[in-house]
Amino acid sequence: MNEQDKIFMQAAIELAQRAAENGEVPVGAVVVKEGEIIGRGSNAPIGLQDPSAHAEILAMRDAAKNIGNYRLVDCTLYVTLEPCAMCSGAIQHARIANLIYGASDPKTGACGSVINLMTEEKLNHHTKVKSGVLAEESGQILSDFFKQRRLNKKPIQ
């Protein structure tokens, strides 16, 4: 793991913390192009009443708006949690070159944990994937969030 990966993943972790403060599952994401963050997102399906408002989707929407193109060629997406199938499909559709994620998701991870859409030969774009960057920190935010939910006996809406 290089220093740049740590810096950008830390930015995603800060966005995950913001999601937790808003009562959302704490996942954060940033899109980087040429060493600069061009898109940011934190989970917001509850607040936005939008099942597609995952951190990755919101970060890619922000990036696409900022560069004026839905194709995010030569971009890297940093996200604190392994993307689900929906987000993996959007990542490929956007032509993201590299995906770097923190914690693996053994329940819905679509980049190797449950299935691996990134290596599916039938698909026409293949994003390079690196996992485990600041995985402990990324996972701890999720663990703390769900522990607090259980203590408060408050289900996710």
* Phi, psi torsion values for 17, nearest 5 degrees: -65, -40
Query: What 8-state DSSP symbol labels residue 55?
Result: H
Catalytic pick among 14, 24, 56, 121: 56
Give yes or no: 14 in active site. no
Report strand pairing: 36-42 vs 28-33.
antiparallel
**d(C-alpha 15, C-alpha 31), whole Å:** 12
The single-letter code of the amino acid at 43 is N
Q: Could you give the residue numbers annotated as active site? A: 56
